[in-house]
Amino acid sequence: MSSQRIQSILSIFTSRLDTLGHLLVRAEETFKEASFLQRRLAPDMAPFGTQIAYTCNQPRNFALWAQGRPADNLDPDVVSIEQARIFVRETQALLAQVSSEDSKLAERTRIDLAPGLYAQMTGHEYVDDFLVPNFYFHLVTAYGILRMSGVAIGKRDYMQHLLPLVRQA
């Protein structure tokens, strides 16, 4: 059984991946062709399909790290909505396998950032300063690409994890 902090991290990643899945459904309802996967906010930013892979990479690599396995990023060249859906499902399945204790977060780890670049940090730093900010950056960027492209989504679609808590006054 995972510990409290690990469980919290898993809950955040899992629920926000549900949001990503919902955004994919909304995108597919709007665009019947896969070309929307190539839309981007700016010329120097990755396209929507790549944002999906990058969003999934953060919880994926958390799960692998928690299991003592090396990071393994997904193929950033997402060419179909089905491939994007598979990335989300497989990432959630990988998260469901995590059973690390909170003590794992105190361990120092080396994170390879790019060829010849790495960072040494604790598990807490890895989660709080690297994974979570990157996760939200790519999730928000994917959301922004869809909004800019005319998909009828709003904050409710992005904040779906709160819907079970909402009550009528």
Query: How high is the pLDDT of residue 33?
Result: 86
Query: How high is the pLDDT of residue 1?
Result: 45
Parts of the chain with a pLDDT under 70? 1-2
Query: How high is the pLDDT of residue 19?
Result: 97
Question: 85-108 pLDDT, tens per residue?
Answer: 999 999 999 999 999 899 999 999
* Distant-in-sequence contacts of 137-142, Cβ < 8 A, 24+ apart: 138/51, 138/54, 138/55, 138/58, 139/16, 139/19, 139/20, 139/51, 139/55, 141/41, 141/45, 141/46, 141/51, 142/20, 142/23, 142/48, 142/51, 142/52, 142/55
Full set of structural domains in the chain with CATH: 4-165 (1.20.120.450)
In single-letter form, the type of residue at position 49 comes to G
Nearest to 98 by CA among 7, 5, 4: 7
Tokens linked to 61: 């690599």
